[in-house]
Structure 1
């Protein structure tokens, strides 16, 4: 693992295939849209975001995947969505036009486009009559975009993929899926996976958790292309840091074992209906406190059938009988 604030060595890309539609928000800072309730079904796939939800709090996973409770958009998450859109579309321009002023000038138009596709985001600034808060928010997005130019030089990059939807199925039947912000391919064929983060880089003791998503993507790429990515790169626009990690095959093997164990725990919880909350400091940001027993709430009626005799976690991460 290394941390740097120096420009990253450029990698030349290859022509990209037409991107598949993004079926669910996966990238950091991407807001979650409110959805209409629909009949519940057992989960059949796992993404980095939902895997992280279950590891953080099984009940949060249930609220998002089983109950599909709506969540209010936040300024921070929506700003991340906006910044990601600008950094993706900047590469539509020829290299000579990929400048900081050009990128910042794209922000108002991308915000308008985002509102057209997600009109509920307008609620964020519904009471901002004078527009001061919106102007400040857009200015913060400009600062994040401008900082990116001190970390990477887009005039020397030709991404092979942007907002790349990936999906693969393991021998166990578990489907892994997600959306990768950017994939670079060097002239020698080496692959670099890049993810933009609009927050600050974590402290070193939390770096392994930050790399979970990237190793997940590395496993999927290896399964799909039989190629071990040469580098995993996290670009933190909030603090101006670049974290890199060069994976080895043992990393992918450990990741696959971890995901299979995680998926087994998710299936057990799905069949038993036992989704225990795991209180942490992150609970303060949760939209679902009204339904959480830790805050005196009651979860919605469980919409799936419960299998008699199913196993559940005993609160220590072990499995035991109901």
Structure 2
């Protein structure tokens, strides 16, 4: 799970927030915790993108205008049950490793769900809105039960009593030779006694169909590139653990793979730079538009984007069309 505000250098002191809180940044150059977001959109101060995370790279490839709304305009987005459940499950799986290996059991993991939900409500009070229309707590109870089921399914896929992660929720950042900064949060890093590195990411949804596996691995290859540039070590394995369907997707990268990802990201960043300077952020309608919080501002739905808050420069001659990057 990876949650970055490109262009924000210091956020709240938490790597989780520093790496990816696109929709809830505050009114100054430093993003704030979503809980403190009270200012109207007009008072936010826009800043040009300064780094790239897997989430924001995916946003731009999906729809350049969505990237603009999240990174430059920083429009607020309502919390969703699915995303919040993912955050809760990730917190439980991270905290479970605080216990001795022999105590990392499914019942113990389930017992962590209520406390982590309380903690999430304290740090992100806006998630309480999800169940504001549930006075009897029936929907909340069902939702928490679904989170417990996802946590339990993990034990059918991995044995935490046999794992001693080198890192959990690891914030990573690297600057490429080109000057592009890449950043993100890795759910888990395992290091074998022989020094081989495995990068693990938990997904609370279902595994994609085989024809979409490459797109799913983009985030992992991104992380592998960052680790390679930081540590001079190519991770031995990338592992996606899909709790929603009980599948594990693995991939063993080689330097040539990561070099291709780096070239792709450089081209993507160049497209983002041109769009930032020209103010030309074009919507790209897809089936995902139905879940977008920004339809009221999107021309595809009859909306009008907010006034562009950054200086606009004339487009470079032959710059070409913006945002034509496809999935990896």
Residue 309 of structure 1: CA displacement?
3.1
* Structure 1 residue matching 2:15: 3-state secondary structure: coil
Distance 1:134 1:281, change over 3 A: same
CA distance in 2, matches of 1:146, 1:77: 18
TM-score by length of 1: 0.89
Is it true that 1:142 corresponds to 2:148 in the alignment? yes
Conserved 8 A contact 1:265-1:313: no
CA distance in 2, matches of 1:166, 1:190: 18
Equivalent in the alignment of 1:3: none
Residue 21 of structure 1: CA displacement?
2.7
How many corresponding residue pairs? 296
Equivalent in the alignment of 1:186: 192
Equivalent in the alignment of 2:226: 220
Conserved 8 A contact 1:197-1:234: yes
Equivalent in the alignment of 1:7: none
Out of 292, 296, 308, which is 2:314 matched to? 308
TM-score by length of 2: 0.87
Conserved 8 A contact 2:239-2:251: yes
Out of 35, 48, 51, which is 1:45 matched to? 51
Residue 20 of structure 1: CA displacement?
6.3
Residue 314 of structure 1: CA displacement?
2.9
Is it true that 1:263 corresponds to 2:269 in the alignment? yes
* Structure 2 residue matching 1:262: 3-state secondary structure: helix
CA distance in 2, matches of 1:219, 1:316: 22
Q: Map 1:227-242; keep pairs closer than 5 Å.
A: 227-242=233-248
* Structure 2 residue matching 1:159: 3-state secondary structure: coil
Question: Deviation above 6 Å: which 4+ runs of structure 1?
Answer: none
Equivalent in the alignment of 1:98: 104
Cα deviations by residue, 1:187-224 (Å, 9 ceiling, x for unpaired): 00000000000000000000000000000000000000
Equivalent in the alignment of 1:289: 295
Equivalent in the alignment of 1:120: 126
Distance 1:242 1:48, change over 3 A: same
Equivalent in the alignment of 2:324: 317
Equivalent in the alignment of 1:86: 92
Equivalent in the alignment of 1:22: 16
CA distance in 2, matches of 1:180, 1:270: 28
Aligned Cα root-mean-square deviation (Å): 1.8
Conserved 8 A contact 1:167-1:178: yes
